[in-house]
Structure 1
Amino acid sequence: MNGLTMKRNYKEMFKTPEMLTLIGFFVLCIIFSVVSEEFLSLTNVSNIIRQVSINGILAVGMTFVILTGGIDLSVGSVMALTGTIMAGMMINVGLPPFAAVLVGIILGAVIGYINGAFTAYARIPAIIVTLAMMEIARGAALLYTGGYPLSGLPASYSFIGQGYLFGVIPMPAVIMIIVFVVAYIILNHLPLGRYIYAIGGNEEAVRLSGIKVKRIKASVYLISGITAGIAGAIMSSRLSSGQPMAGEGYELDAIAAVVLGGTSIAGGRGHIFGTLLGALLLGVLSNGLNLLGVSPYVQRVLKGAIIIGAIYYSSIRQKD
């Protein structure tokens, strides 16, 4: 009987979204390493890690939002705005990199809280609020820069996006790991995490239990704004400039990473480790297709199909 139970448990384990994403990640790595000699080169692996790091950090904030049943379409634009503000603070105001990054992250937090306030307190649907903020933040970035990149950043600033820890580990990966660890602690070991899951599962029950639901819902958008600010620092450092058009479409990449990692789009179910796997799979897929010369238009079609498939699978599991 115990053997049958263990066998059933193993079968169920291999059906989980996280395990399917992990298997998909390894399958893609094998395929691309066979069809492209460049895939496993140190330069290419470093490029994958840096790109995954930006999307992974954005996806962390998106995980918090989606777990409550919300959505944040503004993260790509907020990343661009905070990146240009950081660049402007260093170039035009003369702030040291650390202070400029802090200003950008605080700005991201403020924008995130505005999203959360309109969503939680004014009860405007999150998709409407964040869609509007996507346009506002992008327009503000273009206004601030005049539509042109801000260049001439201090050489020391490049360490965030281009440097290596101990000469081996890319700094964006280090930052991403720290962000994921902090997110794991919040979601799995702090009351806030339990409330976030509970709100996604049954918001009315949580409200009736006396928990301040509106405050918690606003806080997850604030967290999403903070992660967008961190991603903005990495992106502007990596490009050595503040790019007002950076991050276009990144909100979809973040959403895709979250749903591929098994987080239910309806909220209440998911794991931050799954989000990391989703970001890794998307990063490898995008890089491998680029190496094979696949048209970016085709890649967008594939990405959209992947999102629909992941959401459909999630909805089926939700009914089980």
Structure 2
Amino acid sequence: MTRSETLTKTPTPMWRTLLRRLTASQELAVLIALLVITAFFALAAPFFLSELTLRQNLRQIAMIGVIATGMTFVIAAGEIDISVGSIYNLAATVMALLIADFGFDPWVAALVALIVGALAGAGNGVLAVLLRLPTLIVTLGTVSLYRGLTILLSGGLSVGNLPNHDFYSLGTQGIGFVPMIVIIALVIIIVAAWVFRRTVFAREVLAIGSSAQAARRTGIHIARRKIQVMALNGFMCAVAAVLGMTFLRAASPQSGVGFELLAIAAVVVGGTPLQGGVGTIWGTLIGVTLIVVIQSGLIQLGLPAVWQIAATGAM
């Protein structure tokens, strides 16, 4: 008789299996990193979890989160927009000027600002289509164009001293320490996440980001979708400007500087690759939260502002 031996593999330890599953999803990996870093700053900085700090962080997450949500669509389409800070600044300045100099109701001024943002974003898309250039190259120019236009409108001065109005309570009042603008931003992001997962528009955007040539062969109108994505991104920048105006109540020539780096970093850290074709809105929101937590924590530890910039660049 012959005897057959049954060879058995050494079972993989449970902790390794769990670790592999956790790290397989970048969203989950970044979420774990966020929890660990938050716990560290909570222990190292005594005021990190104070109501004032939490409220400030939530406002920042709301503003950058909305901008980064629009950027997710852009990057998923295989494009990059570095003019988001300038569009934010333009929309905020237009809104502030309409209120301060022309007596517009803040709600009407906000509507005009949203239109300005959408038109500025669409302008980026139209230029990219007409010149047959990547949006990165186009927005290298419009980042200065829009900021220069803002300076012309404001005379290079900050626009503030806005009259009192119930509109501004959205940035100062809310549920507990959560301002209303945070809830509004979350609703907007939820809608954007649904659009990103459930609509033909998003599927075509992802197809373009995956392979523009293949998308064209399937009948997708690439030029139209590119303009729409850029217009959406500009609109989201204006939404962030309106949200910011509820508690800042002013616009300065330096408003929005560096927002493009924060938005792109949040999108990539959250799991959307720069080459496009895939994307995740919730990953982007986690990425935004991680960046804001790190920046706030470094401030609470008393480190110079340059460390915030370095930390964002490192991520």
Is the structural similarity TM-score above 0.5? yes
**Other-structure match for 1:91:** 100
The one-letter amino acid paired with 1:133 is T
Instruction: Return the letter of the residue paired with 2:168.
Output: S
Aligned to 1:42: 51
RMSD: 1.9
Residue 131 of structure 2 is matched in structure 1 by 122
Residue in structure 1 matched with residue 168 of structure 2 by the alignment: 158
Structure 2 unmatched ranges of 5 or more: 1-10
Task: Describe the SS at the equivalent of 2:131.
Answer: coil
Q: Does residue 113 in structure 1 map to residue 122 in structure 2?
A: yes
Q: State whether structure 2 residue 231 is matched by structure 1 residue 222.
A: yes
In the aligned structure 2, how far is the partner of 1:42 from the partner of 1:120?
47
Rg (Cα) greater in structure = 2
5 Å matches for 1:131-210? 131-156=140-165, 157-160=167-170, 162-166=171-175, 168-210=177-219
Question: Alignment partner of 1:301: what SS?
Answer: helix
- The equivalences for 1:255-274 within 5 A come to 255-274=264-283
Residue identity over aligned pairs, in percent, reads 35
Determine helix, strand or coil for the equivalent of 2:48: coil
Q: Deviations over 1:7-45 (max 9, x none)?
A: 858724423211111011101110000011101111111
Between 66-75 and 146-155, the greater mean CA deviation after superposition: 146-155
Structure 2-normalised TM-score?
Answer: 0.91
**2:72 maps to which residue?**
63
Q: Deviations over 1:141-160 (max 9, x none)?
A: 11111111111213223223
One-letter code aligned to 2:244: M
CA drift at 1:210: 0.8
* TM-score, scaled relative to structure 1: 0.90
Q: CA deviation at 1:236?
A: 2.7
Q: Which runs of 5+ in 1 are unaligned?
A: 307-320
1:108 alignment partner, SS class: helix
Q: Do structure 1's residue 277 and structure 2's residue 286 form an aligned pair?
A: yes
Aligned equivalents of 2:17, 2:45: Cα separation in 1: 38
Tell me how far apart the structure 2 counterparts of residues 19 and 93 of structure 1 sit (CA, whole Å): 48
User: Could you give the per-residue CA deviations for residues 139-184 of structure 1, whole angstroms, max 9, x where no partner exists?
Assistant: 1111111111111213223223x22234553122112102211211
Following superposition, the deviation at residue 127 of structure 1 comes to: 1.3
Instruction: Determine the C-alpha separation between the residues in 1 that align with 2:24 and 2:112.
Output: 44
